[in-house]
Amino acid sequence: MAPLDGAMIHDITGPLAVRKFYEMGGKKVFDPERVILLFDHQIPADSIEAAENHICLRKFAAEQKIHNYDINEGVCHQVVLEKGRAAPGEIIVGADSHTCMYGAVGAFATGIGSTDMGFALKSGALYFKVPETIQATVTGKFQRRVGAKDLILSIAADIGADGATYKAIEFTGKTISNLDMPGRMTCCNMAIEMGAKAGIVAPDKRTWEYMKGRRKMKPFDLESDPDAKSAEKRSYDVSGLEPQVAVPHNVDTGLAVSKLTGTHIDQVFIGSCTNGRFEDLKEAAEVLGRKKFSPKVRTIIIPASRDEYMKTLRAGLIEKFVKAGALVEAPCCGPCMGGAFGLIAPGEVSLSTSNRNFKGRQGSTEGKVYLSSPATAAASAIRGVITDPREV
Amino acid sequence: MRVWKFGDDIDTDAIIPGRFLTTYDPKELAKHAFEGTRNEFLREARDGDIIVGGRNFGCGSSREHAPLALLGAGVKVVVVRSFARIFFRNAINVGVLPVVCKDAEKIADGVEVRVNLKAGYIESGGRQFTIEPAPEFMQGIIDAGWLVAYAKNLKEVPVCTRSQL
């Protein structure tokens, strides 16, 4: 079994993990300082049951002397990274499938279920099969209004929804070196959408720059061994890449936006751990310019964390979004998992910057969800139909 | 044991939608299993029924509520072409036996089947289809009576060092 450097639980998967921890005979967690606990899926509590789940975790945090971020900080994965709770070379598990996002800082991070988490909390270790690696080498310069989300949607379409099952995807190449940390987070976040156990980018100058002030540690070299064997090597050139949109009801369906322009939409959601960072919202604001969001669609914008919210607020973008007709909510998962607010009705269509468009993911199983970048989502919210962000 | 046949890429949102995750009680979850995607399942599934599916079964969210919802509905065995990673682990951890069968697609919906784990096959309509044995380590967890029992029996957690990884 592998030793763990961190374990993350939230309001949906946490209560069961806590119960399993005690059922297994757990008394004290392996290290309270390595347990990350927060609420993000159903906040502020949207039902009595959710409020009770929050109480269960608050009690656990107090008993175990675990720092509780409670409802105050935002979406778990963003918070873990910005608080420096994941670092290069670490092994981290989270009771949430998008835990693979921490690969953006060169950590091996993977999503697990609640019983696994109970075991992890008790023993500080977990059983793993060492994954093979798919090396995805990315080259070329993005066109204007094309970025990390378009890249990862196109990679998902290429590898397929189960093409990376039980494997790790290493993102490498010139384009990845030039990609900012938020972009790397977007890519690693969606590794699970190909079935991957982890997504990872070897730490470099940008990584260590990001870690500064978040975690006291000296930079060290960490990269794949020169003689490491990959199960597969795939290459991507982004020079000609168009903005991508994944169509209902699978993530590996990315198409060029030009094939979908004019598609009816009822709701646009810009946010989530995939695309709710300041840089994402800034891009959306740039596309917006002085225009307004279409009154025909409901535009919901949710910064991924308190920090990202504050950056967005200070830059004047919250006011801009609200004036343009958007609903800006406090940091949380929002409509992404279809368990809180922002649900869609039968026959309705959502365009979302989040990570999944499964049937029923954002409400009715008779609704549809498309996935895109923040730029495409903003352009579409302005026109009221799916729109190429390069045309707005 | 009747078969509930499903296709490829059955995600955990389909097995149990996000809005029902405030509880982890298997019986409560079972009331909403496949709600909106296959409503007759929650009405008609009986204890001992089996789910048969295609590729990538249980993809998406890490919610353990998915195998728990199946367990609550009486499903103790899922036979598919391939599993998504987290679902596979979760199933074993909570007591739903995940079985890989390359020919799962050849088994029809609604038929009766017999699973013979010892001999390694599933029988349907007089035909036998080979099933793959669980990985050795996972078999240890299954034999112990799933992960909670396994963890309780474990005297010492065999943790490897970084250099052994």
Q: Which of B35, B65, B82 lies closest to A162 in CB terms?
A: B82
| Token reading at A390 | 């390069």
Q: Which of B24, B56, B157 sits opposite A161 (nearest CB)?
A: B56
How far does A1 lie from chain B, in Å, by closest CA? Answer: 5
* C-beta separation of B87 from B10 below 8 A: no
Chain B CB contacts of A42 below 8 Å: 22
Q: Where are the alpha helices (DSSP H) in chain A?
A: 14-23, 48-64, 76-82, 114-123, 148-159, 174-178, 181-189, 205-211, 272-275, 278-288, 306-314, 317-323, 374-383
- Structure tokens, A234: 């795939």
Q: What CATH code is assigned to B3-132?
A: 3.20.19.10
Using a CB-CB distance cutoff of 8 angstroms, which residues of chain A are in contact with residue B60? Answer: 97, 192, 356, 358
Question: Is the model's pLDDT at B165 over the cut of 80?
Answer: no
Cβ–Cβ < 8 Å for A370, A247: yes
Percent of chain A past pLDDT 70, that is, above it, reads 100
Tens digit of each residue's pLDDT (9 = 90 or more) over A265-316: 999 999 999 999 999 999 999 999 999 999 999 999 999 999 999 999 999 9
| Average of per-residue pLDDT values in chain A | 97
SS3 content of chain B, % helix, strand, coil (to 5): 35, 20, 45
> Pairing mode, if any, of strands B50-53 and B3-5?
parallel
DSSP string, B26-38: HHHHHTTTTTTT-
Average pLDDT (B142-158) is 93
Separation between Cα atoms, residue A386 and residue A372, nearest integer Å:
10
pLDDT confidence of residue A226: 86
Model confidence at A154: pLDDT above 90: yes
Identify residues of B whose CB sits under 8 angstroms from chain A CBs: 9, 11, 13-14, 17-19, 21-24, 35-37, 55-56, 59-65, 82, 84-86, 89-90, 93-94, 135, 137, 146-148, 151-152, 157-162, 165
Backbone phi and psi for residue B13, each to the nearest 5 degrees, phi listed first = -70, -35
For the segment A94-117, the average pLDDT, to the nearest whole number, is: 98
Whether complex ipTM tops 0.90: yes
The confidence band for A367, taking pLDDT boundaries of 50, 70 and 90, is very high
What pTM was estimated for this model as a whole? 0.97
Say if residues A93 and A4 touch (Cβ distance below 8 Å): yes
Which residues in A316-335 are b (16+ Cβ under 10 Å) and which e? ebbebbeebbbebbebbbbb
Residue A98: partners with Cβ closer than 8 Å, 6 or more residues away: A77, A111, A189, A192, A273, A274, A355
The confidence band for A378, taking pLDDT boundaries of 50, 70 and 90, is: very high
State pLDDT tens for residues A172-216.
Answer: 999 999 999 999 999 999 999 999 999 999 999 999 999 999 999
Contact: A113, B61; criterion CB under 8 Å: no
Residues 6+ apart with CB under 8 A from B157: A1, A123, A124, A125
Structure confidence at residue A339 (pLDDT): 86
3-state DSSP helix/strand/coil percent for chain A, to nearest 5? Answer: 40, 20, 45
Do β-strands A255-256 and A244-245 pair in parallel, antiparallel, or remain unpaired?
antiparallel
Peptide bond into A182 cis (omega under 30): no
Beta-carbon neighbour count of residue B140 at 10 Å?
12
Beta bridge partners of A92: A6, A109
How many angstroms separate the CA of residue B5 from the nearest CA in chain A? 18
Question: Binning pLDDT at 50, 70 and 90, where does residue B79 land?
Answer: very high
Mean pLDDT of B109-129: 94
Interface probe with A: pick from B15, B82, B86, most Cβ of A within 10 Å? B86
CA distances from A340 to A42, A45, A363, B19, B150 (A): 6, 9, 9, 7, 35
Q: Which structure tokens are listed for A242?
A: 């168009």
Q: Is the pLDDT of residue B46 over 80?
A: yes
Give yes or no for a contact between B27 and B71, defined as CB atoms under 8 angstroms apart: no
Given a contact cutoff of 8 angstroms between Cβ atoms, the answer to whether A192 and A94 are in contact is no
Give the pLDDT of residue B8.
97
- Torsion over CA: A238, A140, A184, A113 (sign): positive
Question: Does B13 sit within 8 Å of A359, measured CB to CB?
Answer: yes
Cα(A268)–Cα(A265) distance, integer angstroms: 8
- The domains found in chain A, sorted by start residue, are 2-126 (3.30.499.10), 132-237 (3.30.499.10), 244-391 (3.30.499.10)
Interatomic CA distance for residues A195 and B57, integer angstroms: 11
Identify the pLDDT of residue B164: 76
